Structure 1
Amino acid sequence: MDTWMYQSRINFQATATEIIETQLAPWIKNTGFTFDLKRRKKEGSGPKSIGSARVIAFGLERGATLTTRQCLDFELSELKRGQLIDLQLAHIPEGWLIAAGYILPPGSYLRHGTEMLAGGNSHVLGVASLHKEEWRFKTPNGQPTFFPITPEYTNEEIDFAENIMAAALIVASEIDEMARIETLFQGTLGLRTKEERRNFYIAFETTDRSFSKKVCDVWTKDTAISAKMSYGSKAFAQGVIKEIMKKCTEDNVIVIEIDIFLIPHLEAEQEDDFEAMIQGEDVIIITSEGGGGLRAQSETLGFHLASQIMEREESKRAEILKSLFARRGSDEKVKGGKSGESKLEWRQQLNDQQQETIENWLNEGAGRVHFQQAPPGTGKTRVAAACIAAIVHQNPDCAVLATSGSNLPVSKLTEEAARTLPDQDMIAFFSGMAKVRYSEHIALLENHLLATKINKEGYQNKLEPGQARDVKIYLEKIERHPKQAAERKVGAVLQKTEFRNVVFATIHMALSIPGAHVTTTHLVVDEVTQVSFTSMVHLLCQMPNVASVLLTGDRRQIGTHLNDLPDLIHEGFGLESLTTQIQHCPRISTTTLIYCYRAHPTLVQCFDYASYRQHNERVIPAIAATERRGLTDLGINLPVSDIPLILLNICGHTEIDPASFSIENPETNCRSAENC
């Protein structure tokens, strides 16, 4: 058996002298899809043939390379991107290394470095056959689509769609993980000065522009990093990226120099590794995993947790999930509800549509989901805060989680809720990176931050020794080195020892602190346009006591960030905005806010015409132009006529902020600055 291993940078020739078959690995069958086709180079002008395909199904640790010898009843030339395919998957022991086209035993010295570690339930591709059953939901060009889920879906079709969504999430997760692995640094670190034994610099040198772009995309300022001695060893230090400098030499070599800060872990052995690194020993520096939780979402959908809850539970959570999956339920026509105490000051300031949102929120029924469609300036965050106040006033024993996909909406919602409920004891959790990026804004929320709560007199006296030590370390680091403070770990201690019925955190942060989501009875999700369907399903499946859900956002604004993923899974795989699903769910009640309080009537008319009127929606100025005289009454000279209104055409490549996961567009920002 010659040339038995040839893949990527591994090019190794060997001859097998003996093969002993001990046993066949247990295998399972699952349906997946092709997400990439590799074509061979061919001389002449004829079409290129397909050399291999990348396929994915739930159960695989990563996308697998499918070659001709693995095809049972078809040729590779018959495949198309997005085509359904049945895969037989073999179980692989934990600790083995998995690449796209080969596997390696634990501890293999010969490796590329981009292999993934097999878990306890990992599989690899065996053989494949074409999926024979027809899927009835397709795009206009004939490609199968699995989202949004409409009332026409049967329960069996929902199970199938969950499986495919789970596979798509593995692809998305692999892309993020591979970008981190492919851009890791391996080599010697440099010290800026001998006295500063925590500040280092590293450098990438390349002539490959695509690789340099990938490095700059992954190695961004304020991103957390870790250091280890080898691929299989544990990290001995952690830190953060401080600055990035990119330049091109006369020889067209691209040099990317990165300033980093590293601090060793406390164990003696790891401090020895840190000292060896300072003395010039080669180490591996890699950026930390992103906060998307894609693997966990994949498992929730792949194991059909939502479907099992809907089928087996008689609970409000089950009814909420049924509403989200466009299923029939016990209360088909619930609308409106309890008015609550309308004489409260913060309720008297709301208009009729905003009051309607609160009434729907308070009437949880058998399990309620309410969506508030809110264009810019219509007061959606204020209404969300009022909803929190209303349920706390009505039910003091409730547990509210106010969340979003990114930190900035969470901080604004915390600030608004603090104004509405000045005497309420609430807690807001923010990552160390968020506290650096939004330090001035988050500082305004000091009374509701974790450090304030655990620094109260007498609190540490009721903790166990290990908990008290964690709290002490947290308080030492939170001011000077917030990125090194264990917000999740200490937050879990606080929620375990002291219950607070109003919690603010991003979805990812809340899921990592059990006390922040397990007890939740009422869920508020702000900026829901940037929350994916799969992440929302995963969150609800972790909340056994949830009874009422408020989703607020603007379906006409930008959705989830998918630019880094293959365009195949941008639509139809559940990674899109939750608002795409909402419009197909008859049991989700909706309130539409139409009065804009923020902008001048002329501006309101502009974005009303540009974004809403074409969808038979309206945005109406709430304040007349005659009352918008703040600048005019200052007495300064202002242009009043013949001044053009400039509307910017957004172009360039959108990026996701590493701290808040919100969308930004540096190229457009630069062009705007140049034009001004």
Structure 2
Amino acid sequence: MQKPTPSNRPNSSASKTLACGLEKIVNLSGNEPLSVPVLADRSDPLGLKSVQPDKVPMESAEGTKEVEMMEVDEMSGEKGKRDEMGKEKVKNAGMEEEEESEGSESELLGDGGFGNLQLNPSLRAGNKAIEKEDKGKPYLVAQVRGDGVIAARMKLFWDFPELVFVPFSLFDNAQPIEIGDTFRLHKCEWTKSETGWEERGDWLYEVTGRLNYQATATDVSRLRQRLPTRAIGILVDVQRARDRHVKVAMVSAPELSCVMRAYRRHFPADFTDTDIRYRSVVRLQLRQINNPPWVLYSQQFAYVLPSDFGKKRGDELLVHHANVIAGVEPEPMGYEFPFSAELTWAKVKLGEKVMAAAVAAQAFDVKADLRKHTLFVEPVVINEISTRSVVIQFVMPVPSIEELTELCNIWEIDLAVGCKVNPTAKAKPCAHGYVLSIDKRALCVGYEIDAKVILSYQEAKDQDAQEEFDQLRCGELDGCVELIPQTSVRALQERMFTLRSNDCSKLATDEGKVGRIMSILLGRPVKPESPKANNPLMTFGALSKLKAGQVDTALCMLDEVPRLVFQQAGPGTGKTFSAASIVATVLATDHTARVLALAPPNVAVVKLVLEMQDALAAGKHVEPMLALFSGTGKLRYAKEVERISPHLLATAVEAQDFKELLQKDQERVKVERYLDACERNPRLAQEMAVAKIVQEHKNRRLCFATLSFCEQLPALFGETTHLIIDEAGQAPYVQILNLVSQLPCLTKVLITGDRRQLRVHLPSLPLAIREDFGMDTVIQNLDVAQGTDVTTLSVCFRSHSALVRCTEAGFYKPHGELLTPGRDDSERALMTDQTAFKLPKKGVPLILVHQSTPAQRDEVSTSSANPGQTDTAMRALWRLARAFPGTLIRCICFYAAQALEIERLVAQQEIPDILVTTADATQGHESSLAVVVTTCSVLDSGADSQPFWADAARVDVAISRASHGMIIIGDLLLLNRTETWRRYLDQATTETTVVGPEYFDFEQFNNPDNYYDKDGQLISANGGAVRSEHFYSKYGKNVWYNNSGESRGAENRYQPYLPQGGTRERTRGKASNSGAHR
């Protein structure tokens, strides 16, 4: 059969015509070449001389321009056009979506882009002749194999197979075939087997992930392939065979719909297996699937199917205009992080795209977790609140403790839930609600959860959601319902688009004030400018009380130069007070100023508001404040939020003068519904919508919120001139970049925090992106940024001097930093002046209790509790509660199970007002008296990293909360074997005497005959020193110790509980690629 030559092939340069957009049309037909009709005028073969210009559709001209732009580089998008991106994609794909309709061949070719024009009659005659040719049936390449492809039928044709195998030999094309390509099938040979499938099993062999097929193609035509576009990605995992060659690499990029698989065929030959490394930055070639517009993509088995395909596993992603990987190349420029002044602009822009890929990986991980923990349950309606609301209950078995822990990390109280009754992929939930309670139980074999969920009817477009909800409410369902956990990734997607579009670097090139601030954030070389030494405003209000480093911060924030100030502040050094004092002065002296004060945790926001109240009062300035919280935040931290109730949004909209400003009925309804929800169910209160109304009518100059709340609605704060970020250790760099890029009026940014305390919770992120991709604290970037104004607060005004010296020795002195006492001991004498009991060391409010009882793992989690230390903690709390109000006492535990057990006992024994929290939930809090319970008791010599109870940042937070006194309970000999605790205990044991748990026995604790010797050491009535002889018999003797008291060989890793073992995380190297990396 003669193959058409370039001279007689119709539309031989199809890739340059409007008909094909970004596609190339390859003639693969095995039939005779198409006859070309004789044209009336060879100099004008399409008869264009008769075309009237005013009849040319504008879409065609615009389409040409879009094609040209996309061929150059599809990555360079404008952030302002994000909302139009989907529309553009649909417009670009419009012709292709129509191509496969069962129309004439002229429709399949798109009429060369001139569908609305009057063409030469002889050409029309030729088209009619083409219509008689066999067009074949449309197929989608679903999976690529070593010798061919498996293709899926795109429409229902009973005489054609659902899945067909096509050998590569049938395709005459220089470009590799990839999933998402389309072609026409003319002939095939059916499989002759009993099952109808060529290979064993059904349509999918799940052991290998290979699609099966019913026939082998013998004649195909019209292969259509989109031209590839470029993108930047990260290899978040690399799987190798035993001989170390690469089998598959998992790739994340913002242009993808999930983390996708790249096989060895996608990499060029000169990109060797050695160069393909975990966490490498790569350049991708992507192809977009526009026909069909919706496809099902299997992340596990790397296949695509039409959305209405008859067969599916159920875990495929429904994707619109999906991008698939066509090639992976090394990134030649080289990615470096953190950004420094030596980097070129090109490397900074590359860095933004790399961080966008990391944020994409985070978003994909969140979505994957939600899909993985979507539950199919048989609910029981236990309470019909109304015809539109019900409470359901379900019980679900869970086979292992690991699965139970993963499930309960997602399914927790207050989790937002959607309920689907209709099982089809495109169906929407008919009800939404949240989890009321969830209980875990251990069974003889396995575990189970017992959950209660409140659901309310939710209308759905093009769906009879009311009937579905009524079936649920009335118990008329035959099967399961689908409960979908819902967590918004909108903020992550916004960060991703900001970075992918290079919005930050574009803003940094602006010579304005916000441009200078962004330049500093990106590490660009910025000429430093020292603030004026004598600013007359320093005598205003609370500023007159500032000391040392606090004054330096104020001088930077009160001059006219746009600045980004980082205030390094240890525990209790007054960072929040100094920030509040500065803000109060700015508002009083600059009537154009708009201040936005943020912090990652809710409790830190509350503290900011309280400090601001005092600072405004000191300056005798009245300024209305607006504090915004999510409904969940208001519930979880109800006691703390109640302290600032005059400044909450509900208080602002309840005021009569505000209600008089509302002129639209719609606004009044929203406000009334909001107030009603605040009373009945704060989770349902529309805080953002009502806050927008308040700002429109009464623009508050001073607003407070959490970072995550602000990031979801940055337009609400678009007029902000001064940005304050507290507890910055928990603020990711990418989050700050995204936030600053959306505040165009900024002139000053104050970021304050402690680089030695808790940072971003990296374990919640995919392992590959935890380091070097901007996901960690912004502080590490500020430390290297040339233009950052850095001030340091090193005087602790919170704690007793003995507590401060121990904290300094453990966490600050090793880094060459200071933390000095700022209070006289007489100001922190609550524990030292009391007469209810005697301290182990006179005048020192620190009690170290050595207790080596074994810890036990919780039966329904991987957390632990120590029964012996629980008993000691309860006795300590009971003794303290007899001497001091419970509101002054806090119990801090390193383990959640330990905290829950003590909290239960505190409630059971009716010890009022004592708070029990974990160490991680304590940052931002402070307490007069603290009892710290460490729990751990067992070592594991095989662990690959230090235990979390020895993490310096976590320990620093736990033991720096107390102001007047602290009790630490733990196996001090075990703790002393970690570097963190050793440094602390070296100082602490010089300040006080270590005692055993018997110290809290009633006879010992309250014995009036106990006395102090000349060195201040507590002596019992029988003449012996009150101390732990077990501890002192081994401490400092260079003898390795375990909790059984036996000596053994040196070991340097730890586990907190019995039994040992379990999965261990691999320690990964830093991000790397073919270029230089920092």
Same fold by TM-score, threshold 0.5 exceeded?
A: yes
Aligned counterpart, 1:181:
371
288, 291, 307: which one aligns with 2:486? 288
Q: Is the 8 A contact 1:454 1:471 kept in 2?
A: yes
CA displacement, residues 346-395 of structure 1 (integer Å, 9 cap, x when unaligned): 12222132122111111241x21011111000011111111210110121
Task: Give the 3-state SS of the residue equivalent to 2:342 in structure 1.
Answer: coil
**Closer/same/farther in 2, CA of residues 31 and 192 from structure 1, 3 Å limit:** same
The corresponding residue for 2:250 is 54
Distance 1:390 1:193 in 2: 54
| 2:567 matched residue in structure 1 | 372
Mapped partners of 1:472, 1:661: distance in 2: 38
**CA distance in 2 between partners of 1:384 and 1:453 (Å):** 24
**Matched residue, 1:453:** 652
> Could you tell me which residue of structure 2 aligns to residue 171 of structure 1?
361
The TM-score, its normalising length taken from structure 2, stands at 0.57
Report the 3-state secondary structure (helix = DSSP H, G, I; strand = E; otherwise coil) of the residue aligned with 1:573: coil
Report the equivalent of 1:142: none
CA distance in 2, matches of 1:292, 1:563: 21
Q: How far does residue 340 in structure 1 lie from its aligned partner after superposition? A: 4.7
Shift of 1:626: 4.3
- 2:608 maps to which residue? 413
SS in 2 for 1:606: helix
Q: Equivalent residue for 1:201?
A: 393
- Looking at structure 1, the residues matched to 838 and 308 of structure 2 have their Cα atoms a distance apart, in angstroms, of 72
Matched residues in 2 for 1:317 and 1:116: separation?
40
Which of 426, 449, 466 is equivalent to 2:666? 466
SS at match of 2:799: coil
CA 1:488–1:96 in 2, change beyond 3 Å: closer, same or farther? farther
Give the whole-Å Cα distance in 2 for the aligned partners of 1:509 and 1:343.
35
1:265 equivalent among 455, 458, 474 = 458
1:108 to 1:307, Cα distance in 2 relative to 1, 3 A: farther
2:495 to 264, 283, 297: 297
Per-residue CA deviations over 1:624-667 (Å, capped at 9, x if unaligned) read: 334432233343223242975369999998999xxx999459x9
Q: For residues 49 and 284 of structure 1, do their structure 2 counterparts lie closer, same or farther at Cα, with a shift above 3 Å needed? A: same
Q: Does 1:353 align with 2:549?
A: yes
State the partner residue of 2:735. 535
Hey, what does 1:487 align to over in structure 2?
687
Whole-angstrom distance in 2 between the partners of 1:175 and 1:377: 37
CA distance in 2: counterparts of 1:154 and 1:503, whole angstroms = 37
Asked if the contact 2:271–2:330 (Cα under 8 Å) also holds between the matched residues in 1, the reply is no
Q: For residue 563 of structure 2, what is the amino acid of its counterpart?
A: R
Q: Distance in 2 between matches of 1:119 and 1:489?
A: 30
> Which amino acid is 1:375 matched to?
G
Match of 2:511 in 1: 314
Q: CA deviation at 1:69?
A: 3.1
Q: 1:284 is matched by which residue type in structure 2?
A: E
Moved more, 86-95 or 393-402: 86-95
Q: Which residue of structure 2 lines up, in the alignment, with residue 221 of structure 1?
A: 413
Q: Which residue of 1 is the match for residue 946 of structure 2?
A: none
Which residue does 2:303 correspond to in 1? 102
The offset of 1:74, in angstroms, is: 5.2
1:173 match: secondary structure: helix
Give the secondary-structure state (helix, strand or coil) at the position aligned to 1:563. Answer: helix
- Give the superposition deviation at 1:239: 1.7
Query: Which consecutive residues of structure 2, in runs of 5 or more, have no partner in the other structure?
Result: 1-148, 151-162, 166-202, 864-893, 897-916, 923-931, 937-967, 972-996, 998-1078
Shift of 1:515: 4.8
Counterpart CA distance in 2 for 1:109 and 1:553 is 56
- The answer (yes or no) to whether the contact 1:605–1:620 under 8 Å persists in 2 is yes
Q: Name the SS for the 2:848 alignment partner.
A: coil
CA contact (8 A) 1:503 1:516 kept: no
Structure 1: distance between partners of 2:822 and 2:403: 51
In 2: Cα distance, 1:390 partner to 1:410 partner? 19
Aligned partner of 1:35 among 230, 236, 241 = 236
- Counterpart pick for 1:233 among 427, 451, 476: 427
Q: 1:661 to 1:337 in 2, by over 3 A?
A: farther
Quote the Cα distance in structure 1 between the aligned partners of 2:455 and 2:895: 26
Partner of 1:506: 706
Tell me if structure 2 keeps the 8 A contact 1:337–1:363. no
Residue 57 of structure 1 and its aligned partner are, at CA, apart by 2.8
What secondary structure is seen at the aligned counterpart in 2 of 1:286? strand
Change (3 A) 1:274 1:580: same
**Residue deviations 1:508-540 (CA, integer Å, cap 9, x gap):** 211333453211111000001110110000000
Is there any run of 5+ residues in structure 1 with no aligned partner, and where?
41-45, 136-144
Give the Cα–Cα distance (whole angstroms) in 2 for the partners of residues 444 and 164 of structure 1. 43
d(CA) in 1 for partners of 2:792, 2:316 = 49
Indicate the SS of the match to 2:837: coil
Match of residue 327 from structure 1: 524
Contact 2:248 2:263 in 1 (8 A): yes
Q: Secondary structure at the match of 1:459?
A: helix
Amino acid at match of 1:171: A
Higher mean displacement: 230-239 or 374-383: 230-239
For residues 389-408 of structure 1, the aligned pairs below 5 Å read 389-408=584-603
Give the alignment partner of residue 73 of structure 1, picking from 260, 269, 278. 269
Q: Paired residue for 1:153?
A: 343
| Matching residue's letter, 1:211 | E
- 2:352 equivalent to 1:162: yes
Judge conservation of contact 1:188–1:280 (CA < 8 Å) in 2.
Answer: no
Q: Distance in 2 between matches of 1:198 and 1:459?
A: 35
Q: Which residue of 1 aligns with 2:194?
A: none
Q: Aligned to 1:342, what secondary structure does the other structure show?
A: helix
Q: Contact 2:714 / 2:743 at 8 angstroms: preserved in 1?
A: no
Q: Deviations over 1:560-619 (max 9, x none)?
A: 111033333221111111010011112111111111011111111111111111111100
Q: Name the counterpart of 1:92.
A: 289
Q: Using the TM superposition, give the Cα deviation of residue 493 of structure 1 relative to its aligned residue in structure 2, in angstroms.
A: 2.0
In structure 1, distance between residues paired with 2:851 and 2:253: 42
8 Å CA contact retained: 1:300, 1:306: yes
Q: Name the % identity.
A: 24
Paired AA for residue 455 in structure 1: E
Cα distance per residue 1:464-521 (max 9 Å; x no partner): 2322222221111111100011111222222222201101011221133345321111
**Partner Cα distance (1:537, 1:453) in 2:** 31
User: Superposition pairs for residues 567-582 of structure 1, below 5 Å?
Assistant: 567-582=767-782
Aligned match of 1:256: 449
Q: Report the structure number with the largest CA radius of gyration.
A: 2
Please, which moves more after superposition, 331-340 or 644-653? 644-653
Secondary structure of 2:226's aligned partner: coil
Residues 489 and 195 from structure 1, CA distance in 2 versus in 1: closer, same or farther, beyond 3 angstroms? Answer: closer
3-state secondary structure, aligned to 2:818:
coil
Q: TM-score, normalised by structure 1?
A: 0.88
Counterpart amino acid of residue 27 in structure 1: P
SS of 2:437's partner is: strand
Instruction: Summarize the Cα distance change of 1:583–1:292 in structure 2 as closer, same or farther, 3 Å threshold.
Output: farther
- Amino acid in structure 2 at the alignment position of 1:55: V
Q: Which amino acid aligns with 2:682?
A: P
List per-residue Cα deviations over 1:139-191 (Å, max 9, x = no partner): xxxxxx63211111111111111111111111111111101111011232122
Instruction: Provide the rounded CA distance (Å) in 1 between the counterparts of 2:205 and 2:566.
Output: 50
Specify whether residues 151 and 620 from structure 1 end up closer, same or farther in structure 2 by C-alpha distance, changes over 3 A only: same
